[in-house]
Copies of this chain bind each other. A is one copy, B any other.
Amino acid sequence: MKKGILAVVSGFSGAGKGSLMRELLQRHGEQYALSISATTRPPREGEEHGREYFFVSKEEFERMIEEEALIEYACYVGNYYGTPKEYVLEQMEAGRDVILEIEIQGALKVKERFPDALLLFVTPPSAGELEKRLRGRGTETDEVILCRLKRAAEEAEFMEDYDYILVNDNLEVCASEMHALIQSQHLRTGSSQEWIARIREELCRF
């Protein structure tokens, strides 16, 4: 059986990453596993342990760091966030494609450690559309929106470090593109090493 692909998804706040993941999992739930991050930040209302995040104490998190149980971790605004390793490797071994939705800093660390990881950057079709989506939520002050847009400008500097850019204009189209893209990576020469070795051996018999 072929090993799963490790796909890392980042993108501007407001790019629609969450909806995209949900759409993908709804359509092809048997093919994908969504990695759940561990964090030391307290759960917000409606968040569940093991669904949005694994909520752990600072001590637990630091033990995970020591035991090298995390693929990557980072500290934001005084809280740790990280990707537990075991689940990701298990799912990949089982042939499932694992999706990590993480920040750029973490994504680049994953790529260093797993050069075969597929780095996807999700963006709305324009800065105007990004602003519109952020305002459309209706839950944030002008100040927070401006802060997110400035952050997006900073994040845009890292787009070239990603392998592919997914423009999320239409959710369904974008989910189809993402699925086709990830599935086509199973055909990469690097993913076919065993297969190549086998046909070479067979051909040698002639």
A interface residues with partner B (beta carbon < 8 Å): 121, 123, 126-128, 130-131, 146, 149-150, 152-153, 156-157, 159-160, 162-167, 177, 180-181, 183-184, 187-189, 192, 195-196, 199-200, 202-206
A181 cross-chain contacts in B, Cβ below 8 A: 184, 187
A-B contacts, 15 of them at CB < 8 A, read A123-B199, A126-B199, A127-B206, A130-B203, A146-B206, A153-B203, A156-B199, A157-B200, A159-B189, A159-B196, A160-B189, A163-B188, A165-B188, A177-B187, A180-B180
> Given A128-B202, A156-B200, A196-B159, A165 and B180 touching (CB < 8 A)?
no
- How many copies the complex holds: the figure is 2
CB distance B177 to A164 under 8 Å? no
A167 → chain B, closest Cβ, in Å? Answer: 8
> Given A153-B203, A203-B149, A204-B153, A180 and B184 touching (CB < 8 A)?
yes
> Given A177-B187, A183-B180, A196 and B156 touching (CB < 8 A)?
yes
CA gap between A144 and B31 in the complex, in Å: 44
